[in-house]
Amino acid sequence: MPKNPGQIDIGKQFSRFPAGRTAKDGEYSGQVFLKKLLLPALKNHDRIVIILDNALSYGSSFLEESFGGLIRDRILTRKEFDSKLEFVSSDEYLLAELASYVNDATERLNNPDG
Amino acid sequence: MMQQSVLTTLMDDLADYIAAILVVVGWVVLYRQTLAMRRREEMAQSVQLVIQTVDNIFHLSREYYSPSNSDHISYLSAEIKGKFVLLSKYLMILKAAGMQFDVKVDILKFKMLSTGGHFETVDFLQQLNQPNWREELTYSGLSLRYSIERSYFTWCNQKLNIKSLLLPSI
């Protein structure tokens, strides 16, 4: 059991319409999500459940920046990512998409020339 | 002589039973075939909705990534994302109705190409500079269509064979 579990409901705590990659793309971009919610939560919690269902939909840039970015920018190792974050969604294709961004970021980090 | 007479009577009695059983089995097969065909028509309509959604996304993506589009976050981007949600839901309905899919990889590829790394970013039109992007997008859309249609035909074959028409579940 994690000592200090946390929860982020993106749709309720951030935006129902998250979009974009960096802050210049808009106020509900992946970078803003990282800065405002995810990074502080990672500091304060051993494990975080991220609820995806209450946002209307997710663009590829937002997902890649928010979650692939954690690996790409070496904020978390892949092992830490898997042990600290849990994603909840009724949409199996969304979960698969998210996993693919994380896998790609891991792959690029491990094989920068590949 | 007497043994032969008993055998003939028995055969006559059995013939009546066999005829009755054949009538009932024939009726069951016919009834279940009608149900299966009705179900097949309903599934065909749902599959058409899925394919139509894939086509819509393809055209919306072309429109979004065209030099005439000036908004990185707009109705177009919202509609593309919304259609992907719709696509997931349609596929979940078909799966719940008994169709088996192996389209996850195709959907992921199609989504990554129809949205892409620059989606909803201020420099979104850079997507047009990705080598072979247009060709890859077209191919992935068609590939997804094919995978869905193939799943439908496989399902039809399973539902209309004689075993499934005789066995209790439909």
Quickly state the pLDDT bin for B162 (edges 50, 70, 90): low
Give residue A88's pLDDT: 97
Residue A112 lies in a domain: no
Domain-embedded: residue B5: no
Instruction: Say if B18 falls within a structural domain.
Output: no
Shortest distance between the Cα of A112 and any Cα of chain B, in A, equals 18
Is there a contact between A20 and B72 if contact means CB atoms under 8 Å apart? yes
**What is the structure's pLDDT at B170?**
46
Residues of the domain holding B75: 40-159
A113 found inside a domain = no
Q: Residue A61 sits in which domain range?
A: 5-107
Choose the closest CB to B82 out of A25, A57, A62. Answer: A57
Q: What count of other Cβ atoms lies within 10 Å of the Cβ of residue B117? A: 17
Domain membership flag for residue B11:
no
Give the pLDDT confidence score for residue A3 in this predicted structure. 61
Is A83 within a domain? yes
* Predicted pLDDT at B169: 54
Contact between A19 and B122 using a beta-carbon 8 Å cutoff: no
Asked if the structure places residue B44 within a domain, the reply is yes
Mean residue pLDDT of chain B comes to 88
- d(C-alpha B53, C-alpha B86), whole Å: 8
Q: Whole-prediction pTM value?
A: 0.83
- CB contacts < 8 A (A, B): 69
Is B130 inside any structural domain?
yes
* Tens digit of each residue's pLDDT (9 = 90 or more) over B36-61: 888 888 889 999 999 999 999 999 99
State how many domains chain A has. 1
User: Residue B39 corresponds to which tokens in the numbers above?
Assistant: 């179900």
Q: Does some domain include residue B49?
A: yes
Q: Is residue A33 part of a domain?
A: yes
- Chain A CB contacts of B79 under 8 Å are none
Question: Does B102 touch chain A if contact means CB atoms closer than 8 Å?
Answer: no
pLDDT of residue B168: 59
Our count of domains for chain B comes to 1
In chain B, what residues touch A26 (CB-CB under 8 Å)?
73, 120
Residue B1 has pLDDT above 80, yes or no: no
Element (H, E) at B47: helix B2-64
Structure ipTM: 0.87
Average confidence (pLDDT) over B121-147: 93
In angstroms, rounded to a whole number, what is the distance separating the alpha carbons of residues A33 and B131?
30
Low-confidence ranges of chain A (pLDDT < 70): 1-3, 114
